[in-house]
Amino acid sequence: MSTLENETSLLGLAGKVALITGGGAGIGRATAELFARAGMRVAVAEIDAERVADTTATLKDLGSDALVIQADVRDKADVARIIDTIRERYGRLDVLMNNVGDFLRYKSYFVDSTEDQWEDLHQINLMHIFRVTKAAIPLMQETGGGSIINVSTVEAFRGIPMTVVYSAYNAAITGFTQSLSVELGQDRIRVNAIAPETTDSAQITAKSRVPAENRGDMERWFPLGRFGLGSDSAGAALFLASDTLSGWVTGQTIMVDGGVMTAGAWMRLPDGREWTHLPIIECDGYTPSKLRGAKD
């Protein structure tokens, strides 16, 4: 057996079937590719025609018996069609990753937001998760168990100004994940979530938004010194997909955040040695070293 075959058999995922919504770009795409490399049969539901074609070609190149369906997960009939097509093609569903979500570039104070915006955010961040999950559960029950992975955000766990409603719907994903995990435990269906911090994707072009002169600051801004990559969240999803690795984990959210949530406001000062959680680098003439009693 080759090393790759050894690794994939260790995960216990070979031949299993996954559905990833929004798997044509960003975090969903990185996960689709990783799942295919783990030997899974990967179904993707993707709204964008170009991404459908591109994802189909890549998954085929990776040797996956893949199924890329052009569909809008906000549409009830499309959701029924996605699950029917998976049932016909594979006859089972082991992993569902509810990945679609977007802040839709609605950035304003809550008091200035509109009910139409709330409804758009509801449809793209929460409602389809209910709809796709409800449609998928009977097939997962027939399969004899499985893993549901909801993609949330760190903004569900801290206060974020100007994107209040997006954050509120993502916080609801936590409640949904916890309560559904209790309900589905007896069916051996685990339900967990992933909460990424800023990750380069089609929706978020994080790195290029930082002015060139500030890029060096990333090293001290995030404990792990960089923005996220799709592959970071894909790795967490692979862990949650695999019964071998996470078979006794349910109802949890994994922060994929480079340590940001744990650090809170703490960051290193430009000298790379000292730390602050305040917007000061000097206090009454004392540097942090002096405050700590150390010599300069």
For ligand NAD, the closer CB: 16 or 51: 51
169 is catalytic: no
We find the least distance from the C-beta atom of residue 9 to ligand NAD, in angstroms, to be 29
For ligand NAD, the closer CB: 8 or 131: 131
- Kindly state the DSSP code that residue 281 receives in the 8-state scheme: S
We find the least distance from the C-beta atom of residue 100 to ligand NAD, in angstroms, to be 5
What would the DSSP string read from start to end of 8-55?
HHHHT-TT-EEEEETTTSHHHHHHHHHHHHTT-EEEEEES-HHHHHHH
- Kindly state the DSSP code that residue 228 receives in the 8-state scheme: B
We find the least distance from the C-beta atom of residue 50 to ligand NAD, in angstroms, to be 9
For ligand NAD, the closer CB: 100 or 137: 100
Residue with tokens 């695999």: 242
We find the least distance from the C-beta atom of residue 286 to ligand NAD, in angstroms, to be 38
Closest C-alpha to 191, from 253, 141, 245, 244: 253
For ligand NAD, the closer CB: 49 or 280: 49
Q: What are the structure tokens assigned to 33, written together?
A: 């590719």
Residues near ligand NAD (CB under 6 A):
21-22, 24-28, 45-48, 51, 72-74, 99-102, 151, 153, 196, 198-199, 201-204
Say if CB 146 and CB 96 are below 8 A apart. Answer: yes
Catalytic residue among 90, 106, 166, 169: 166
Query: Which residues are identified as catalytic?
Result: 166
